[in-house]
Structure formats: C-alpha cells, structure tokens
Amino acid sequence: MQNVFLRPAIALTLIAAGVASQAAHASQFQPGNLVVSRGVYDNLSSNVQPGTVLPPNCASTQGGCSAATGATNDGTFPYVFNNALYDPSFGITARAFLDQITPNGQLVNTLEVPNSMNPGQGGDQMVTSFSSKSEMALNLSTDGKYLTFMGYVAPVNGIDVSNSNTPGAVDPTNPVGESVYRAVARVDENGQFKFTETNAYSGNNGRAAILNDSNGQNIIYTAGNAGNGGNPQPNGIVLGAGAQVIDGSSQHEAQQTPGTPTPVGSFSVTELGAKPDKIGKDDNFRGLTIFNNVLYYTKGSGGNGVNTVYFLDTTGTACPNGVGVPAPNATLPTQPLTYSPATLQANGLPSNMCVLRGFPTSSNKTTNPTHFPFGLWFADANTLYVADEGDGAGGSDLYTHAAAQSLAGLQKWVYNVTTQSWTLAYTLQNGLNLGQPYMVNGYPTGANTATGLPWAPATDGLRNLMGTVGSDGTVMVWAITSTVSGSGDQGADPNKLVAIRDLLKNTTAAGAAQEKFVTVRSAGFAEVLRGVSFTPTH
C-alpha cells in the first residue's frame, strides 16, 4: 500500500501527541498509533466458475435463483464483481487484516485476523465479505482496552455469505441457501482475539460493534441490517436487525450456541407521523458510537426509514414525538428491548430511539434523501463530526455527479444550548477530490464492458472515522473514503485513508476555507480499507 506523509504542520502536531516506536513486536499495539482494518481478496480465478448458478443452493429456497445464464465472470479481480449485476447477493469472503500505522501513515506492523487459512486458538476464525462496503468499522471499548469489529464465521472464499441466513434465524424466501453465524471480534493490546457469535443480521451484515467493559461488564452493542427475502419478514429477521445487545463470550466458537437475537433499540417512522414501512427496515443502521453514556447510530441507505442520526433513549422521556436530545441522566442499556411476540409482525419492535434534533426527519419514501451519514465522532458535547459517504449514484455523469455533491465529506455539526438543537456548520471537502478518478496499480483502464462506465474509482465521500482534540483546540480527524466507479460493485474499489485538521472553535465555512484533506494511506490492488481507530491500551 502507498502512503503519503501529512504536511509538516500536521505531522508536528501528531509527533507532539506521541508517536510510538516502529520497533514494536508484530502482535502488539502501541499507544498513540492508529489501526486500520483492511480486506484482501486473494484473486483466484477458480473462486467462481462462469455459468455457475447463483446464489449457492438457491434452488432449495423459496427465493429462487438468479437468471439461468449463471455467473458471468470467473474469480479474477476486479472482473469477478461484475457478477453482482447478475446475482444481487454476490460477494466473496476474504481475509481481514489490522494494520498498525503511525498517525502520518507509516506502517508499523500487520495483524491477520484468524481465518480458515490461518486459524486461531481453538480453531477460532472470522472473515469479512469482499466487497461489503459497510463492514469492519473499528471501535474502542468503553475503557479503551479492546478493539471490536464484526464479520462472519465462514471459510475464506465463500460465496454470497454476506446475504446468507444465520442458523437461528432462517428466512425461506432468502435466495441464498446457506446459513452462517455473524460474529464480533475483540482484540487486546497484545493482539489476542476472542469472538462472540450471534444469530443477528440474518440475510445481511453487522457493521459496527462496541464493547462495554466498564465496571466489570461484558456487553457488546452492535449496528447492522437484516433481511434478504420477502415481506413479511420472519420474527428472527425483525429481531435481528438494527441495534443489538450481546453478552460477550469467553468460549471458543465451537463451544458457543447463540440464541434468538436480542435487540436493544428500534425506531419506526410512525414516531414522526409517517406511514409504516417494511417492518424492521427502518433499523438499517451503519455507524455506531457512544458519548456521555448514550448510544448513537446512523442510517444512510435503503428505501425505508430516514437517513439521519439517532440516539437510544434509556429514560423514556427524551423524545415523545420521535425527535429530541438525550436526557442528562441517561445511562447505557444493559438489557435487551422488551417486546410482545404477539404484535411483532403487525407492529414491529417498540420504539425507544429518536432522531437527534436538527438532523433530517423526512422519510426516504416521501423525499429523496440528501444526507448519507455513516461514521460519527463527538469532539465534545457541542461538536459532532459526521462522515457522509455520498449517494453513490451517476451514470454517464458518474464523476461530475460525485463532484457536485455539497454534503458528501466531513460534516461538522454544532449544538445550540438555547434551542437544544444541532446545526450543520459546514462540510469539509477540500482535498478529497470528489469525482476525480485516480489510478490503481494493476487496475484495468478504460470502460468496464459490463457497465459501459470507466473502471477508475473516484472518491464519493467518507465512511468510518475517528478523531482527537489537542490541548490547543486543534482537531485531527482520520476517515475512510467511499468511491464511485464503473465496477460491477463499487464496494470493491480500492479506497483511501485520509486526514484533516480542523479548529474546534470554528463554526463557519469561511473559517475552514484553508483546511484540506491529505491522503494517509491508499488501498492497493484487490484491497479495501474499512475502519480506523486508535490502538487499544491498558
């Protein structure tokens, strides 16, 4: 992978904050460094045979198979992902890596997540899905001792695993005829892994996880999406969507017996006075963070619900009409949401989540969304940075459409204590080069014959992010880019880790005019970057 050093002013700030030695042991994380999650596809032509009917075992499902022509491409990257045009569930499991880097992009070491090719203790393993773009967000636990992220308990090079059922929540209308547990990985400062399996996110994927290990607790909060079949969705799909709470496991995967999914929160557009959506699909969450004992989530895709920022209200008083701000006495939840099985299919889960006041409230069914929030990070109680990944749209105007987006990039929101509402101060885009195609070594040039659009990726916005605030009020934010391209699946595009410096006190676009993103690292051929965090430490 390529790295580009930050400009001197930023580098000095980072060095002053403390940069760890690069002589670290290969399995150890050092304070002050960053961790970036990376998926790597092994580029074997034999992974897919042209003409193979997909999804796997589709004939045994009520969902049935894709068109009779079968897979269009073999397993060669990036052409293999043109199969997504034939099979909407298409994906291939891949090895996941955690790269420890200095804040200015120098590689310290790389830790491979245990997998079927390189299993961990007790045979434990987990993979990511190439090219599920919403996966592998990295989050520190509440006491900073562990990093957590999500994946699949499946072998490397498994097909369509990201849309498979989970063993305990099978939807017969899902065309993917296989079942695979999702799992949360936790890793400590010594590079030691533990995995917790779950039946949540059947038919789709878990996106983010945070371990609440404060005061001796062992509770995991997760965000994701569920469902890949018809309507109505079975109870297990509804229960396994969105916001989950899971008891962390200390057992090896082979000893675990996950039960029914345990939702911790839910939101319905009916809270805003809108007509009901498909049950469970309002909870298609992506980003996840904790601030001041409150869980925050984002939704940025799908035709249901509202693309916006949410919080989970444990007090029951913060938002009687679906919009509000957290109560000052809020606490983190420790138990699943209580629901009635008798009314689940008719009404879904009870709503205990709210739109954060000031953020969009228009239903995606009634208004074309303009916000596509993904990661979020609080610099302080009055400053919230939101990564907007862009809309990923465009045909022959692929690049110009991306370049014209005004909200894609890093949004800075500020809180007005008087009105108790959040306001968008400005969106940082300078240096992201939205819509400007870039070269990837080994990547095909010209147009993809399957789409008629150019292969070269261009940045479309940002996904996961993290940041820090210096004693002088200087804010540093690192973020993972999203892309647009003519690939059969834009999630397969090699993307970037970027960084920018902002001033905490600044609230105007004019004041941020000189701020500019720089590229810290770039994914190489058959690689994707997914999450970024500081290292776990005691």
Per residue, what are the HEC states of 245-301?
Answer: EEECCCCCHHHCCCCCCCEEECCCHHHHCCCCCCCCHHHCCCCEEEECCEEEEEECC
Tell whether 233 is covered by a domain. no
Q: Is residue 525 part of a domain?
A: yes
Residue type, 250: S
Which residues are within 8 A (CB) of 328 and not within 5 positions of it... i.e. 6 or more apart?
none
**Which one, of 507, 504, 505, 503, lies nearest residue 515 by Cα?**
503
| DSSP track, 458-471 | EEEEEEEEEEEE-T
Q: What tokens does 422 get?
A: 């959040």
The confidence score (pLDDT) of residue 400 equals: 97
Q: How far apart (Å, rounded) are the C-alpha atoms in residues 466 and 308?
A: 19
pLDDT at 9 over 50: no
pLDDT of residue 335: 96
Q: How far, in Å, CA of 134 to CA of 441, rounded?
A: 24
pLDDT at 12: 35
- Per-residue pLDDT band for 69 (boundaries 50, 70, 90) equals confident
> 232 lies in a domain?
no
Residue 478 has pLDDT above 70, yes or no: yes
pTM of the model as a whole: 0.94
Cis upstream peptide for 78 (omega within 30°): yes
What pLDDT is stored for residue 27 in this prediction? 55
Residue 280 is predicted with a pLDDT of 85
Q: Supply the DSSP symbol for 511.
A: G
pLDDT of 24 above 80:
no
Question: Is residue 365 in a domain?
Answer: no
Query: Torsion-angle region of residue 414: left (phi > 0), alpha (psi -120 to 50) or beta?
Result: beta
Contact, 481 vs 496, CB < 8 A? yes
Q: Is residue 514 part of a domain?
A: yes
Q: How confident is the prediction for the chain on average, in pLDDT? A: 93
- The mean per-residue pLDDT over the stretch 440-468 comes to 97
List Cα–Cα distances, 504 to 128, 367, 378, 468, in angstroms. Answer: 35, 33, 11, 10
First vs last C-alpha separation in the chain: 30
Whether residue 538 is predicted with pLDDT greater than 90 in this model: the reply is no
Interval 133-178: pLDDT, tens: 999 999 999 999 999 999 999 999 999 999 999 999 999 999 999 9
Least Cα distance to 26 among 126, 110, 112 occurs for 110
pLDDT of 67 reads 81
Rg over alpha carbons for the chain, rounded to the nearest Å, is 22
Q: So what's the pLDDT on residue 22?
A: 39
Domain total of the chain: 1
* pLDDT of res. 279: 86
pLDDT of residue 10: 41
Q: Give the per-residue pLDDT at 13.
A: 41
DSSP states of 354-417: EEEBTB----TTTS-----EEEEEEEETTEEEEEE------STTHHHHHHT-SS-EEEEEEEET
Rounded Cα distance between 304 and 364, Å, is 6
Q: Per-residue pLDDT averaged across 462-479, rounded?
A: 98
Tokens of 395: 């045909």
The answer to whether residue 364 sits within a structural domain is no
188-231 residue pLDDT tens: 999 999 999 999 999 999 999 999 999 999 999 999 999 999 99
Residue 419: how many CA atoms within 13 Å on its side-chain side? Answer: 9
Question: What is the residue range of 152's domain?
Answer: 2-227+238-358+370-534
Return the closest-CA partner of residue 478 out of 502, 456, 512: 502
Consecutive H or E run containing 10: helix 8-17
Structure tokens at 329: 């006495």
Can you tell me the mean pLDDT for 446-471?
A: 98
Tell me the C-alpha distance between 29 and 145, whole Å: 11
Per the domain annotation, does 363 fall within a domain? no
| pLDDT digit string, tens, across residues 309-340 | 999 999 999 999 999 999 999 999 999 999 99
Count how many Cα atoms sit within 13 Å of the Cα of residue 229 in the half-sphere of its side chain: 27
* pLDDT single digits (tens) 84-133: 999 999 999 999 999 999 999 999 999 999 999 999 999 999 999 999 99
Query: Residues of 506-525 as b/e, b for ≥16 C-beta within 10 angstroms?
Result: beeeeebeebbbbbbbbbbe
> Residue 21's CB: how many other CB atoms inside 10 A?
10
